[in-house]
Structure 1
């Protein structure tokens, strides 16, 4: 009986929980991290929560977040130096966003990646972006009106834009590491900029105005070569990147009508097939994009019941899609950066030939032949077949 009692006591000791638990009053939760260049290495800025303003029963005029910065020779050192400013130990397990300053991105982000993937507190499901024309510190310090934390606002905007507009892409740490280190594929990151006065955007009043003094906007895709930012794609070129990499689920397009109006299309589905091949001893990429679309808005006189008219719209939509694809490819080739993974496609299709060209891929890619083909299938014309614009135009002509 005594042995049984001792055994139960021993098991009870092993099952005791919360031995490493920490009270919220003893820690600080970081939601965003910015990394910028500094004279002695790096500057790290953390956006931390004010728990009383987020979940407290009584709110005050204080901000929901605060930002703290410190510099060091390495990112790890900068992180530890933050303890000189922060009143509590920082926990990074709730990190939603990491922002690289544009200057750091141009110099190279490689030295920061080891810390990000090595630290046991960091999960790898945070979103990574670049601050355009400002520092990352300034970006994550701007207060936003609809979301209590800027980190939530930015990550939600990237997800929404990727799902319904398609000129941006949500990139996590694992994908970034793979793109930076793999053969035949380069990295991209979505860019973010601030309109208005970033300094004024740090004040609580920025969230209390109908039109905020400073607002955060997404702005295209940044193209990398190795770990260095080469430049930016505009909105249409960024959308072309997502078409080519089969990352478009819903977006909009438009075509010109014969009477100088426009007809808008809602892209409801897109499927891309891209394959590597060799022709006449040279590598070639063949891309086919199949698009399903609905008519979203008509600003011209057109009979949507006429199959011939619909066929013309379809042809124009296919031509426009091809233009978007080609513009994206040309911009990437200008930067000499294979962000589409064409090298990987050649490697999978022709592994022996790839071994011969992989060392010179950076010089081959800018002149690589890429064939694009788009097919647009019209599904629905909406609730009406006769455009309102046509009726209004005829009425105006009669009254004149």
Structure 2
């Protein structure tokens, strides 16, 4: 009986002292930050932080979610965070933040201080999405008209995650970006956002990728080039390929919808020289065609297949050559692949990888399988 009593008491005590959270705070007393923008300080020194804070306005029927913006200044990111307390009755709570927009000027000087705060502090998520703004300041993005929700940061997060269907924006979390910056064998790319007009109103849109040299902004690539970058990185999850199909009489467009893709990159050493072999296998269907022929008949389908393979191969090679000649930055992670598959070789070349990459030979094999064209095999005609 005593044993049963002691066991019961033990369970009760465990329940009492292990429930709850060590840093529990009542949510209505906090300012829930959905995202933030980082700009240079007005004097050219330090930082200006703009936080988007969720404003929950109660009504008789249901709560309405809006957002307000607060700004603070500091010599460091952490100082900006702490100074935000001085201007808000509700202390900012950063664990719900999903996106951070960084200005071009800040990115050119380096984003290590920003990543250091994210990784070191207990509140920010390591799953934050970081983006570079092409507008003069990052805070402008948070002030632009939102099309789908009043919470700008949540809309940007949805734009990044939903872009998998287009494969025109890199999808990289703060934790992954930290690893890439720390790795000699790869130069990171993060998504960019810019101002656009929609029905005469200013709003925001994803605009491609920002290339980093270590942690500093080195340049930009557009939406289409991001797609070819993702092909090499084996990160294609969808998207479209619009190609020109030439026959005896016309030049027409065929748009392929990508359903599956598998890319394998293999380092090859021959006669003491390193090269990379890229093998791409893509499964697609014909989504749209302007071609006035039966596109599924032989040899038409083979002609489309061959054209698509050459189109994809040439555009990937063009991007690789641009990275080698214009930037000298390995955004494809070829060095990381060598490090993983041949550690001994990597130890010999890692200090000179930047120069080796510039002259690296790359061979690409592309195999596009076209599995159908929906309900139609010919273009719709008007009589």
Counterpart for residue 398 of structure 1 = none
Counterpart for residue 92 of structure 2 = 90
Is this contact kept in 2: 1:128–1:170, CA < 8 A? no
Aligned residues: 374
The partner residue of 2:121 within 119, 135, 154 is 119
Please give the alpha-carbon distance, in whole angstroms, between the structure 2 residues aligned to 1:234 and 1:337.
Answer: 16
Q: Does 1:313 align with 2:304?
A: yes
The Cα RMSD (Å) is 2.5
Please give the alpha-carbon distance, in whole angstroms, between the structure 2 residues aligned to 1:28 and 1:56.
Answer: 22
Change in 2 beyond 3 A, CA 1:19/1:97: closer
Counterpart for residue 245 of structure 1 = 233
**1:266 offset after TM fit, Å?**
0.9
Which structure has the highest helix share of the two? 1
Please give the alpha-carbon distance, in whole angstroms, between the structure 2 residues aligned to 1:337 and 1:213.
Answer: 37
Please give the alpha-carbon distance, in whole angstroms, between the structure 1 residues aligned to 2:159 and 2:97.
Answer: 16
Secondary structure in 2 matching 1:80: helix
Provide, for residues 168-221 of structure 1, a one-character-per-residue CA deviation record: whole Å limited to 9, x for no partner: 12211110000000121111100000125xxxxxxxxxxxxx836211110111
Counterpart for residue 287 of structure 2 = 296
Please give the alpha-carbon distance, in whole angstroms, between the structure 1 residues aligned to 2:15 and 2:305.
Answer: 72
Please give the alpha-carbon distance, in whole angstroms, between the structure 1 residues aligned to 2:117 and 2:231.
Answer: 33
Secondary structure in 1 matching 2:179: helix
**1:21 offset after TM fit, Å?**
3.8
**1:322 offset after TM fit, Å?**
0.6
Counterpart for residue 48 of structure 2 = 43
Secondary structure in 2 matching 1:306: coil
The partner residue of 1:267 within 245, 258, 274 is 258
5 Å-filtered alignment, 1:222-241, equals 222-241=210-229
Please give the alpha-carbon distance, in whole angstroms, between the structure 2 residues aligned to 1:24 and 1:144.
Answer: 26
Is this contact kept in 2: 1:237–1:331, CA < 8 A? no
TM-score, structure 1 length as denominator?
A: 0.87
Counterpart for residue 334 of structure 2 = 342
The partner residue of 2:377 within 385, 392, 395 is 385
**1:142 offset after TM fit, Å?**
2.3
Change in 2 beyond 3 A, CA 1:316/1:52: same
TM-score, structure 2 length as denominator?
A: 0.90
Please give the alpha-carbon distance, in whole angstroms, between the structure 1 residues aligned to 2:21 and 2:342.
Answer: 55
5 Å-filtered alignment, 1:1-400, equals 14=17, 17=20, 21-38=24-41, 39-52=44-57, 57=61, 64-161=66-163, 163-196=164-197, 211=199, 213-257=201-245, 258=247, 259-333=250-324, 334-388=326-380, 391-392=381-382, 395=383
